[in-house]
Amino acid sequence: MSWLESLILGLVQGLTEFLPISSSAHLRLTAAFAGWHDPGAAFTAITQIGTETAVLIYFRKDIARILSAWFGSLFGKVPRSDHDAQMGWLVIVGSIPIGVLGVTFKDQIEGPFRDLRLIATTLIVMGIVLGIADRLAARDETGGKHRAVRHRKGLKELGVKDGLIFGLCQAMALIPGVSRSGATISGGLLMGYTREAAARYSFLLAIPAVLASGVFELKEAGEGHVSWGPTIFATIVAFVVGYAVIAWFMKFITTKSFMPFVYYRILLGIVLVVLVSMGVLSPHAGESAG
């Protein structure tokens, strides 16, 4: 991998990680369209450490409060009924599905799941799901001529059952094109949570999963399957860009809908289907190891 490739892929990772459009799919597509080798699941996992570091810094106060309350609850210094202590447990519970499925389907994630035909399908299908979830949320928030405004849940109303459902939604993002934030936010909206609550829990839930995955994949770099220099550079770029994106996104969702992302996902998926169907782009473009 060249330094130019690492710069561009780092920018793509930072720009797309927190938006509901799938960073793994965009890394894969960037390489395919540019004629580069597929950066691979290991590169994606490691560069996500950069974007998750941005999450750690952006939500540092929330994370510090949750960790303090969670550890305090272990030693009886904080009531287990405390919201922040419970949130610590809910993040752990919600991380179980992706941990189990990530290990179970590791070979598929690094191989067949990266087929461009599958990516196109998941872009379109999950785009439609996100659109439906967003419309339901908008209807509840604004009401209508013959419908009253309906209460939507916040994180204080999050329980173990919903936490596990969030976790299962997050696990779907193991397939490129689904989108970690897109799947978890869609799940949250369909369960009746506000946009902000769904997005906030989505980002907090991603921290242990992404960091664990990135650390696990570091051994691939040590074995020579990933170039250290360009990968570290891409990770730093992803961190800087990712921090700016998450700050913008959290403000955006308080007043705007997700429909622009829905239209983008569906359009990109259709374009990809057409290109592959016409033979312009191979479904396995760039898959050879580089």
| pLDDT value, residue 69 | 96
Rounded-to-5 percentages of helix, strand, coil across the chain: 75, 0, 25
Spatial distance between the Cα atoms of 39 and 43, rounded to a whole number of angstroms:
6
Residues 6+ apart with CB under 8 A from 284: 115, 116
| pLDDT value, residue 79 | 92
Has this prediction a pTM greater than 0.85?
Answer: yes
The pLDDT tens digits of the residues spanning 5-32 come to: 999 999 999 999 999 999 888 988 998 8
Sole residue written with tokens 């359009």: 267
Of the given ranges (58-67, 183-192, 225-234, 273-282), which has the lowest mean pLDDT?
Answer: 225-234
Residues 6+ apart with CB under 8 A from 159: 90
The pLDDT tens digits of the residues spanning 37-83 come to: 877 777 888 888 899 999 999 999 999 999 999 999 999 899 988 99
Please provide residue 144's backbone torsions phi and psi, each rounded to the nearest 5 degrees: 175, -175
Question: Reduced to 3 states, what is the DSSP secondary structure of residue 177?
Answer: coil
Band the pLDDT of 288: cuts 50, 70, 90: very low
Closest-CA residue to 181 (of 202, 153, 159, 212): 202
